[in-house]
Structure 1
Amino acid sequence: MAGTQIATPDAPAAAVPGAMAGPAAAAGSSFHAALRILPPAQRQAMFEIYAFCRAVDDIADGDAPHAGRLAALDAWRADIAACYAGAPPPALHSLCAQIRAFDLQQQDFLAVIDGMAMDVVQDIRAPDAATLDLYCDRVASAVGRLAVRVFGLDQDCGIALAHHLGRALQLTNILRDIDEDAALGRLYLPAQALADAGIPADIAAGPPQALVAHAAIGRACALLAQQAQAHYDQADAIMARFPARLVRSPRIMAEVYHRILARLRTQGWRAPRQRVRLPRAQLLWIVLRHAIG
């Protein structure tokens, strides 16, 4: 999949129900870099959220038959329900402690699982706008809703930030990962963007790998990039209302992914494409600047 906003590091993670990968799974990622500057209690809570997301993401992208992956996601639903019922499985005691400490909402954990299930039930291909937005809300903005509680942000503004920044990051992931997703039989570019780019309906409905090689794919991607930029602008305006110390981590994530989007727009999407990454030195500079700012 294109990956959730925190599901893009190179390190392996647990992929079985109830198994939490822990902080080690985040090592080497931009997410990990954004969390290192948090106070210890917040950092541990975010690592637990991260590990949950990695575990269910790995299930959705795994090689098991569809029925097995759906059963594994159902097992996670049961495990999350057990946490809220006060009887967590041993592997989730630490996550359960963070749920209590930061009043994390069960519906947000379940939304993430539901988003992963969307990739399992049927490969997403050229979705309509409503389906794409629901997917982004579940796999990215729901994670943001958990995160803003950990960061201690005002509820209304925090939810608005999760809405816009989650969608900005997820759309950037989609634009960065179109080749990897096409290899899995998935295409998250919306049908309307493909039509507006002049791609014929029969090609848009065909195999994703053939579609992403179409000469007009760049125009469709550029349209989605405009949507992503609008969400970054909204997220930046919301973060400007908070003291810098409260939004250091989301600002790091926003800047890292916004720079990736800018590089994608400069490079374009005509095949063959090179995967865009930020140099490690640039990532460290972004973290340092926000840590001391």
Structure 2
Amino acid sequence: MTLEAAAADTDYGSSASGSSFYAAMRILPRDQREAMFQIYSFCRQVDDIADSDGPRPERLAALQQWRDDIDALYQGHPPPRLRDYAGSVRKFDLQRADFLAIVDGMEMDVPQDIRAPDLATLDLYCDRVASAVGRLSVRVFGLPSDDGLLLAHHLGRALQLTNILRDIDEDAGLGRLYLPREGLEAAGIAGSDPIKVTADPNVPKVCAPLVARARDHFENADAVMARHPRRVVRAPRIMSRYYRAILELLVARGFAAPRAPVRLNKLAKFAIVLRHAFI
């Protein structure tokens, strides 16, 4: 199936087309694919609110409206933008708390930009913006509850830590700094100004423990997926391989400024899909 044909299967596909998420999800059966594109669309829309340059009170109000709309969905009278979600919520038993956790995670950047959070706050952020997405996703994939929660915990954090390490300079340009306070202090970096911190020559010392933590989460996620049939974990395995490859490219490049952008090329992406998409 071509990318274009898969996108035509659902309105949500167009917003995901071209992403690593899209390549992983287009191999799923139709009902699972539609549910995952709905989850993706929801995440994109609330993320766009958090990342916009609109006034903070307006962004907070917009995120609160999403909470109200999620509540209405679960009360049986969804607003138009969530009407199509009702079938997926019923079929896969998607949990209201996980949708709301995602909104809460996006909101963490709105009252003020996150700058040098402590490790506990960073982990909470990763749980809300990534592992909560995983908790919705594993229900769609059909994993049993205990291992589903474990996979969501570990793979969500692995992906988000990789994002943080990849986007250091992009985030700094937005006034954000996700490198943890404890790591900065241990490396002898004072302050939390994103531009100044990311230019410091000791940034690689801050990144090294995050790389180790991300690798550990990837390995734990792999251990969970190894316990289940390949057809059940094809999509999360592709996501894991994509992001693990990005992490290793980041390590090979290094974290000292200037940091060239790192991307996985099309051939590498295709090889990962080819290896894991088919049983």
- TM-score, structure 1 length as denominator? 0.90
- Equivalence for 2:4: none
Match of 2:60 among 70, 73, 78: 70
Matched position secondary structure for 1:273: coil
Matched position secondary structure for 2:94: coil
Give the RMSD, CA atoms, in angstroms.
1.1
Shift of 1:197: 2.0
Query: How do residues 229-240 of structure 1 correspond to structure 2 at under 5 angstroms?
Result: 229-240=215-226
CA distance in 2, matches of 1:22, 1:30: 15
Q: What runs of 5+ residues in structure 2 fail to find an aligned partner?
A: 1-9
- Equivalence for 1:148: 138
CA distance in 2, matches of 1:198, 1:147: 40
Match of 2:158 among 168, 189, 194: 168
> How has the CA–CA distance of structure 1 residues 126 and 159 changed in structure 2, closer, same or farther, with 3 Å as cutoff?
same
Aligned residues: 270
Match of 2:73 among 68, 83, 92: 83
- Equivalence for 1:198: 188
- Equivalence for 1:178: 168
| Deviations, residues 118-156 of structure 1 (Å, cap 9, x unaligned) | 010121111111100000000000000000000000100
* 1:224 has 2:210 as partner: yes
Shift of 1:90: 1.8
> How has the CA–CA distance of structure 1 residues 67 and 221 changed in structure 2, closer, same or farther, with 3 Å as cutoff?
same
- Equivalence for 2:7: none
Which structure is higher in RCO with an 8 Å CA cutoff and minimum separation 6? 1
Shift of 1:196: 2.0
- Could you tell me whether the CA contact under 8 Å between 1:21 and 1:54 is conserved in 2? no
CA distance in 2, matches of 1:90, 1:122: 31
Matched position secondary structure for 1:241: coil
Q: Give percent identity, aligned residues only.
A: 61
Q: What runs of 5+ residues in structure 1 fail to find an aligned partner?
A: 1-19
- Could you tell me whether the CA contact under 8 Å between 1:21 and 1:52 is conserved in 2? no
CA distance in 2, matches of 1:228, 1:156: 21
- Equivalence for 2:94: 104
- Equivalence for 1:43: 33
Shift of 1:21: 6.9
Matched position secondary structure for 1:222: helix
- Equivalence for 1:291: 277
CA distance in 1, matches of 2:245, 2:188: 28
CA distance in 2, matches of 1:21, 1:115: 25
> How has the CA–CA distance of structure 1 residues 194 and 206 changed in structure 2, closer, same or farther, with 3 Å as cutoff?
closer
Shift of 1:91: 2.1
- TM-score, structure 2 length as denominator? 0.95
